[in-house]
């Protein structure tokens, strides 16, 4: 593992890296397979035989009460936490449990955190530039200058997240909602196949929430998106399929209306 990560960080074209750059094999439909994932922290099972598949191009919402394992699931997919048991595949060929965070990001999974994390001391432009899909090795970064095509891409994203007027401002000066959009913009610049969004509208005003929903609608199709959210209204405004987690496993799955009527879901979550 150590040698692998050492080799890959420096040269993504080597060994596994070649698979990464060639893209994700989604010939069988799903882009993400989680099977029987178990993670325990000192005896407490944060995830308990979780099985979940997400189709290519799908927008999936994951809900569940606190401690249901939503964030841990994100951690497993992005390589931050290693599962004790189970398999996690991205497409048909990429085994997520064996890659580092940077390799997974390179393979095409982008993640937005619960708390907006942008580079506060960098300008909005620089944030997008850093996130942009390109050669991310040291040697390239030393001499890299954005070319015209890349500047255009950044400009398009700035328009999409409506931050063009703030492009030359330090990201730390943005409002909470703007930071959330910037983070989504950074994910878009990464051109991921799969986007993981952890509570993208937490702390947003109604108007901001609505604009975020529109933003996500635009992403649907080009990217697969997994959204973890508490805001039920927001979910019903965007979601086609909803997965309910409870105590580390899937409790129910299906269209929003069907899940809303599920007795067990009402008991553990909605009916509180």
Tell me: does residue 138 bind another protein (CB under 8 A). Answer: yes
Are residues 78 and 109 in contact, defined by beta-carbon separation less than 8 angstroms?
A: yes
Helix axes 176-189, 124-131, angle to 10 degrees: 30
Q: In the block, which residue shows the tokens 């999409």?
A: 160
* Shortest distance (Å) from residue 156 CB to another protein: 7
d(CA 160, CA 149): 17
- Element spanning 267, H or E: none
* Shortest distance (Å) from residue 155 CB to another protein: 5
Tell me: does residue 193 bind another protein (CB under 8 A). Answer: no
Tell me: does residue 94 bind another protein (CB under 8 A). Answer: no
Tell me: does residue 156 bind another protein (CB under 8 A). Answer: yes
Considering only 122, 211, 230, 260, the residue that binds another protein (CB under 8 A) is 122
Quick note: the x/- pattern for another protein over 16-55, rule CB under 8 A, is -------------------------xx---x---------
In the complex, the residues that contact another protein under the rule CB under 8 A are 2, 5-6, 8-10, 41-42, 46, 71-72, 75, 78, 80-81, 100-103, 105-106, 110-111, 113-115, 117-122, 125-126, 129-131, 133, 136-138, 141-148, 151-152, 154-156, 159, 164, 167-168, 186, 190
């Amino acid at each position: 593992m150590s040698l692998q990560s050492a080799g890959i960080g420096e040269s993504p074209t080597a060994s596994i890296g070649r698979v990464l750059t060639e893209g994700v094999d989604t010939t069988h439909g799903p882009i993400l397979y989680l099977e029987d994932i178990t993670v325990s922290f000192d005896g407490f099972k944060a995830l308990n035989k979780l099985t979940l598949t997400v189709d290519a191009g799908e927008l999936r919402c994951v809900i569940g009460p606190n401690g249901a394992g939503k964030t841990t699931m994100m951690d497993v997919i992005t390589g931050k936490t290693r599962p004790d048991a189970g398999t996690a595949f991205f497409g048909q060929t990429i085994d997520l449990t064996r890659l580092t965070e940077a390799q997974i990001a390179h393979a095409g999974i982008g993640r937005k955190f619960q708390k907006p994390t942008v580079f506060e001391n960098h300008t909005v432009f620089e944030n997008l530039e850093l996130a942009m899909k390109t050669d991310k090795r040291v040697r390239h970064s030393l001499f890299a200058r954005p070319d015209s095509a890349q500047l255009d891409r950044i400009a398009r994203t700035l328009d999409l997240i409506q931050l063009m007027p703030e492009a030359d401002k330090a990201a730390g000066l943005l409002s909470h909602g703007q930071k959330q959009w910037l983070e989504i913009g950074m994910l878009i610049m990464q051109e991921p196949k799969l986007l993981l969004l952890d509570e993208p509208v937490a702390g947003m005003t109604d108007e901001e929430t609505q604009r975020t929903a529109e933003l996500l609608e635009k992403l649907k199709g080009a990217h697969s998106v997994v959204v973890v959210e508490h805001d039920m209204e927001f979910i019903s405004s965007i979601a086609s399929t909803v997965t309910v987690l409870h105590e580390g496993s899937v409790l129910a799955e299906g269209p929003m209306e069907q899940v809303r009527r599920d007795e067990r879901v009402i008991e553990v979550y909605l009916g509180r």
